[in-house]
């Protein structure tokens, strides 16, 4: 990872003084609320319909009063952060000012906002809860994690639609790589399954009429909404090694850019996405042939999948590294998608197998990438590029590499 970029991009910039390790992961998802269940769910049968978190019990982490004062997206984030901290082992926050939070979300507390609008319209606006603003504000997720764990360093929220989780992780990694922080809690959290949100996506024809997420498939007809959260704990590598931490992987590169094209449609031919991937690869000091696997954005929408396929061909040629989209299993959870996918990348390295793109059966003949389908594929660990591309033209890519002892 570079700390400065030169006139020609990261390839002629200065290397960061510190390396960044991933030492803890926590997951709340529609296929499991532990890393073991989450991993198993990535290999399960293709779900049909919305990917909701049906077995979530906030009382495991929050008291009754706290539950009422935290939107569901915030409850997810606190739970995932708690699980990540437990997973990180004996992590000591010796200097709270050097431990921070950088979490992404697409819409924040939409459920609370919609509920209270209905309260106002039916019972009168004097009955709206005085906690509405902290319930709905997007930065409540990061703020709540910082307060719960006493993290006094940078506390920021990335709100870049479907790119938010990935961009948050990349920015958090650079906080450590630059020497500003020793530890960062990062990732994304989302719960946007309100009736109004569903109607909005349905009416713009972005959602699947068949109720199936099938990325890159010739019969794909849109995404399925998902919800959930993933928090990763990042730590300066030498610090992690000194305490004997379990190191899942390192974050070696990150990049973001903009299509500057359309509020919802990707730039044709994946030009912006390709540029973002190449910047992340350059930032890691790698070349495209070093990349061993692509964790794709792969939403199952006709335009996005085609543009991403073309972007991968621009960077890697017609013979791409093996590609998977875990949205076949997870659905699309917007601001938390990239974080859940980063955890999937970590577990791909740990288990040495690439999960299949669940639900995908027949690749679109206009998409020329090596999609892993039907069953997992053995993986010789190497650098993984994980991509997220959001409404507004926001692009994010990160390079997650096996830890080299």
Whether the CB-CB separation of 321 and 335 falls below 8 Å is answered with: no
**21 strand-pairing partners:** 235, 250
Q: Answer yes or no: are the C-beta atoms of 126 and 72 closer than 8 Å.
A: no
In this structure, are strands 228-236 and 249-258 parallel, antiparallel, or unpaired?
A: unpaired
- Is 297 annotated in the active site? yes
Catalytic residue among 191, 276, 293, 332: 332
Closest residue by Cα to residue 294 from 153, 400, 185: 400
- Distance, CA of 292 to CA of 348 (rounded, Å): 11
Pairing of the two strands 99-104 and 293-295: unpaired
Told to judge if 191 belongs to the known catalytic residues of this protein, a careful annotator would answer: no
| Contact (Cβ atoms closer than 8 angstroms) between residue 214 and residue 299 | no
Whether 394 is a known active-site residue: answer no
Q: H or E segment at 386?
A: strand 384-390
Using alpha carbons, select from 158, 87, 152, 103 the residue that is nearest to residue 350. 87
Q: Which helix (H) or strand (E) holds 35?
A: helix 35-41
One-character DSSP codes across 289-353: GG--EEE----S-HHHHHHHHHHHHHHH-SSPPPEE-THHHH-B-GGGHHHHHHHHHHHHHHHTE
Q: Which of 70, 293, 297, 394 is catalytic?
A: 297
User: Which own/partner pairs from 260-266 qualify as long-range (CB within 8 Å, at least 24 positions apart)?
Assistant: 260/393, 261/393, 262/393, 263/391, 263/392, 263/393, 264/204, 264/206, 264/391, 265/303, 266/303, 266/304, 266/307, 266/308, 266/389, 266/393
Q: How far apart are CA 183 and CA 245, in angstroms?
A: 13
Answer yes or no: are the C-beta atoms of 146 and 101 closer than 8 Å: yes
CA max distance for the chain: 62
Single out the catalytic residue among 162, 181, 276, 346.
162
The set of catalytic residues is 162, 297, 332
């Amino acid at each position: 990872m570079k700390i400065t970029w030169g006139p020609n991009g990261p390839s002629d910039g200065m290397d960061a003084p510190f390396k960044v390790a991933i030492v803890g992961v926590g997951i709340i998802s529609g296929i499991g609320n532990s890393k073991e269940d989450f991993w198993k769910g990535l290999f399960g049968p293709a779900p049909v319909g919305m990917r909701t978190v049906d077995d979530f019990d906030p009382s495991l982490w929050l008291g009754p009063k706290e539950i009422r004062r935290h939107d569901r997206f915030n409850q997810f984030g606190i739970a995932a952060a708690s699980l990540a901290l437990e997973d990180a082992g004996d992590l000591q926050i010796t200097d709270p000012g050097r431990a921070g939070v950088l979490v992404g979300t697409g819409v924040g507390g939409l459920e609370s906002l919609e509920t209270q609008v209905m309260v106002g319209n039916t019972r009168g606006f004097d009955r709206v809860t005085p906690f509405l603003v902290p319930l709905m504000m997007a930065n409540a997720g990061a703020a709540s994690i910082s307060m719960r764990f006493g993290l006094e360093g940078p506390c920021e929220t990335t709100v870049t639609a479907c790119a938010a989780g990935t961009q948050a992780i990349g920015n958090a990694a650079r906080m450590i790589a630059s020497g500003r922080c020793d530890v960062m809690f990062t990732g994304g959290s989302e719960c946007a399954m309100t009736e109004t949100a569903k109607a909005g996506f349905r009416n713009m024809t972005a959602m699947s009429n068949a109720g199936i997420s099938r990325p890159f498939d010739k019969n794909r007809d849109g995404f399925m909404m998902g919800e959930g959260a993933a928090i990763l704990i990042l730590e300066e590598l030498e610090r992690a090694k000194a305490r004997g931490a379990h190191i899942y992987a390192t974050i070696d590169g990150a990049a973001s850019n903009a299509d500057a094209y359309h509020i919802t449609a990707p730039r044709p031919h994946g030009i912006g996405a390709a540029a973002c991937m190449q910047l992340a690869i350059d930032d890691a000091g790698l070349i495209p042939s070093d990349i061993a696997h692509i964790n794709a954005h792969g939403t199952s929408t006709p335009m996005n999948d085609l543009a991403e396929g073309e972007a991968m061909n621009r960077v890697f040629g017609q013979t791409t590294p093996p590609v998977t989209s875990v949205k076949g299993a997870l659905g699309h959870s917007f601001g938390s998608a990239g974080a859940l996918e980063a955890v999937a990348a970590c577990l791909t390295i740990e288990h040495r197998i690439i999960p299949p793109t669940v639900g995908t059966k027949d690749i679109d003949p206009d998409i020329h990438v090596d999609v892993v389908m039907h069953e997992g594929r053995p993986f010789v660990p190497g650098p993984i590029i994980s991509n997220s591309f959001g409404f507004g033209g926001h692009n994010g890519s990160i390079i997650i590499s096996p830890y080299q002892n």
